[in-house]
Amino acid sequence: MVTSAHEGMHRIFQERPEILAPVFEVLGIALPEKATVDAIVSDATETKPMARHIDTALRVCPSDGEDFLLAVEAQERRDAKKESSWPYYIAYLQSKYRLPVLLLVVCRDRATTKWAAGPFDCGTRGWTAQRTYPLVVGPDNLPVITDARTAAEKPAMAVFSALAHANSPDIDAILNAMGRALAGMGLEAGAYFWQFLEKGLGKTPAGDKWRDIMTFVNYFPGEGTLLEKAYVEGEARGEAKGVLAVLEAREIPVSEDIRERITACTDVDRVDYWLRKAITVTHAEDLFAEDPDISEETSSEA
């Protein structure tokens, strides 16, 4: 079964390719910061009844050398089938695109990391026809980012670190640093990393910890949480993007009518009320239940 953790561990390479350089540095492979990265078709199925899908396939065009393809696989546990499918992916991509191919396997536990490093041989009677050496990153070689400044400077890598170390004793410190980093970001960037990490961690103890950090109003004394900042920036733009960001992060469907009602509202107090309710409601419509007429209350007090 494909899990949210599995998806997050490879999709981050598609959505935030800037992590390639630091990840390759961990592996001892030089890759310039300046490189174009494009996702390519990851379906490796031939015209026969056998479907094969690479988790993520990228074409990397470094500024200092030849282009190459990178197949990224997220692996949660040892799987003997991968020992034959991974060499197939490499051969397939090389044959189709006529480019060198590297295979990167991303793991979250040490036992899987050790197995995934291979090598995986194909041969018999003392002769090896093919040998596959995956590149592997996991808890042993990925940095543990517990400093908020580093997390703010390299948020994509910090998110990747959190995913890779989700089962580590350091996860609380990693998430705390990430939370502080997001508190200083703008709405758009902060909401992206917040949502990506929440989906990637899923319904796990680390995921619960992350949701606690993002919904504790007084977590950042004097600065406000991401929720508060989302509102402040939304107010400055004349929009209630903070409310929609919270609902989206919690995967609560929002109809076009409700979206229009939220974004069209110019009552600051009312939007603030919706934002705080967005943390706990189970349906978007619940935002408007017992919605106080804040404007009238303010007028009567005056």
Same domain, 117 and 178: no
Same domain, 48 and 133: yes
Domain boundary among 137, 170, 190: 137
Examine the pLDDT at 238 and tell me if it is beyond 70.
no
Q: pLDDT grade, residue 43 (50/70/90)? A: low
Report the pLDDT value the prediction gives residue 299, as an integer from 0 to 100.
37
Cα–Cα dist 267/288, whole Å: 14
* Assigned token pair, 207: 């995921």
Q: Which domain holds residue 156?
A: 143-210
Q: Is residue 126 left, alpha or beta, with left meaning phi > 0 and alpha meaning psi from -120 to 50? A: left
- Domain count for the chain, please give it: 3
Domain boundary among 163, 179, 210: 210
Report the pLDDT value the prediction gives residue 297, as an integer from 0 to 100.
41
Q: pLDDT grade, residue 44 (50/70/90)? A: low
Same domain, 54 and 166: no
Domain boundary among 137, 172, 202: 137
Structure confidence by residue, pLDDT tens digits, 47-87: 454 456 888 899 999 888 889 999 999 998 999 999 999 99
Report the pLDDT value the prediction gives residue 231, as an integer from 0 to 100.
46
Query: Helix, strand, or coil here: 302?
Result: coil
Q: 239 or 43: whose pLDDT is higher?
A: 43
Cα–Cα dist 283/285, whole Å: 5
Report the pLDDT value the prediction gives residue 69, as an integer from 0 to 100.
93
Q: What is the CATH number of the domain that holds 44?
A: 3.40.1350
* Assigned token pair, 200: 């990637």
Same domain, 14 and 126: yes
Q: 248 or 137: whose pLDDT is higher?
A: 137
Structure confidence by residue, pLDDT tens digits, 176-224: 898 888 877 776 777 788 888 888 888 889 988 888 877 653 334 444 4
Same domain, 32 and 129: yes
Query: Helix, strand, or coil here: 132?
Result: strand
Q: 268 or 123: whose pLDDT is higher?
A: 123
Examine the pLDDT at 114 and tell me if it is beyond 90.
yes
pTM above 0.75, yes or no: no
Same domain, 121 and 36: yes
Q: What is the dihedral of CA 82, 88, 89, 95, to 10 degrees?
A: 170
Examine the pLDDT at 144 and tell me if it is beyond 70.
yes
Find the radius of gyration of the CA atoms of the chain.
23
Report the pLDDT value the prediction gives residue 218, as an integer from 0 to 100.
36
pLDDT over 70, % of the chain = 81
Same domain, 249 and 150: no
Examine the pLDDT at 26 and tell me if it is beyond 80.
yes
Structure confidence by residue, pLDDT tens digits, 254-296: 998 888 888 777 676 777 788 778 888 888 898 887 655 544 4
Determine the angle formed by the axes of helices 226-236 and 268-278, rounding to 10 degrees. Answer: 150
* Assigned token pair, 259: 């979206």
Same domain, 177 and 200: yes
Same domain, 221 and 279: yes
